[in-house]
Amino acid sequence: MNAEPRTIGVGLISVGWMGKLHSRAYQTVPYAYPELGLKTKLVIAADTAPSRVDYARDVLGFAEGTTDYHDVLNHPDVDVVSICAPNFLHAEIGIAAAKAGKHFWIEKPVGRGYQETAAVQEAAVEAGVLTSIGYNYRHAPAVEHARKLVAEGRLGRITNVRAVFFSGYASEPNGALSWRFDKKLAGTGVLADLFSHATDLCQYVVGPIAEVTALTSTVYTQRPKLAMGSATHFAVIENGEMGEVENEDYAAALVRFGPSAVGAGAVGTIESSRVAVGPECGYQIEVYGTEGSSNGILSA
Ligand SMILES: NC(=O)c1ccc[n+]([C@@H]2O[C@H](COP(=O)([O-])OP(=O)(O)OC[C@H]3O[C@@H](n4cnc5c(N)ncnc54)[C@H](O)[C@@H]3O)[C@@H](O)[C@H]2O)c1
């Protein structure tokens, strides 16, 4: 007879685009990974926008809702927390989650800069909680395969890498000025949002980068304002009040992989845009080496 599945209590902080997606992912655990013998229970969700709290209860299926994220961290039935808040809250909430002894998945970027990220890491290590970061593309089977090919030397000596993550979510000039375009709320622009994914994948497959030279560009310097929690960054506002875009739309870097990398000494380019007309979400990494019948090109 099968053992009774263990139930994991889930808490969600912020019910935006990612909050919905995380909720759906937790619900698939029992049938996507039956070998784990786990069930998930959506216990409580928090958002400062009351309509999103209602949505979490009425549509996503959370048993409880709140406008104060501390209620999620203090809830005795919550075992794991998804932190899907805008970037400026990540360090505060990540540290609070660790102090509350909750395991957490935190969305990228963990901090708006190195110090915030390091502070969250320190709190998590000190509390002994398990953590994961939203670099979800790592988990695609093709990426694991590429990493294995590189690690086994099947491409010979790695010579160069090319990674591109182009999205068009801000390609509409009247696309809303969400928190993503505000330095205080987001930190960097496409660097934190998309470039971080591409860099993570390069380092995951080939190893740590040691040298960088880079540039950025902002294509649209003003956009129509949007109140927090009222729509997503895909919203388009005609004739709205304009505000300043405070971070970059495009970033490109030339990189060199360090001596501890599997691909030590290899060089590469990484490029990201949030205003590309054409690709909705065009993500590609190419790894070139001195051997192998064909070089590895992964696209998403
Ligand atoms: N891993 C990925 O591929 C991926 C993709 C998209 C976004 N993200 C990350 O996910 C995070 C959220 O992005 P999003 O697109 O879901 O944002 P969003 O704007 O759709 O949602 C953010 C939500 O946070 C709520 N919020 C604001 N202040 C709050 C507070 N004090 N307490 C609780 N909730 C609060 C807002 O009301 C809103 O509902 C960002 O850090 C982003 O970088 C990751």
Name which residue sits closest to atom 33 of ligand 1, judged by CA: 47
Q: Which CATH number describes the domain made up of 138-299? A: 3.30.360.10
pLDDT at residue 291, as a whole number:
87
pLDDT at residue 231, as a whole number:
75
For 249, the enclosing helix (H) or strand (E) is none
Domain ranges of the chain: 6-134, 138-299
Which residues sit opposite 167 in a β-bridge?
Answer: 281
Pocket of ligand 1 (CB under 6 A): 13-19, 46-49, 52, 69, 84-87, 89, 107-108, 134, 136, 178, 193, 228-229, 232
Name which residue sits closest to atom 1 of ligand 1, judged by CA: 134
> How many whole angstroms from 86 Cα to the centroid of ligand 1?
4
Name which residue sits closest to atom 25 of ligand 1, judged by CA: 14
Residue with tokens 């599997």: 262
**Single-letter amino acid code for the residue at 281:** C
> How many whole angstroms from 252 Cα to the centroid of ligand 1?
25
For 6-134, the fitting CATH number among 3.30.2090.10, 1.10.3720.10, 3.40.50.150, 3.40.50.720 is: 3.40.50.720
Distance CA 224, CA 245 (A): 10
pLDDT at residue 299, as a whole number:
52
State the helix-helix crossing angle for 90-99 and 114-127, rounded to 10 degrees. 10
pLDDT at residue 294, as a whole number:
58
Is the dihedral angle over the CA atoms 199, 202, 204, 209 positive or is it negative?
negative
pLDDT at residue 293, as a whole number:
61
pLDDT at residue 3, as a whole number:
72
pLDDT at residue 300, as a whole number:
46
Q: Which DSSP string do the residues of 178-244 spell out, in sequence order?
A: -GGG-HHHHSSSHIIIIIHHHHHHHHHHH--EEEEEEEEE-S--EEEB--TTSS-TT-B-TTPPEEE
pLDDT at residue 4, as a whole number:
82
> How many whole angstroms from 173 Cα to the centroid of ligand 1?
22
Q: Encode the chain (300 residues) as per-residue pLDDT tens digits.
A: 467 889 999 999 999 999 999 999 999 999 999 999 999 999 999 999 999 999 999 999 999 999 999 999 999 999 999 999 999 999 999 999 999 999 999 999 999 999 999 999 999 999 999 999 999 999 899 999 999 999 999 999 999 999 999 999 999 999 999 999 999 999 999 999 999 999 999 999 999 999 999 999 999 999 999 887 777 778 898 888 999 999 999 999 999 999 999 999 999 999 999 999 998 889 999 999 998 765 555 554
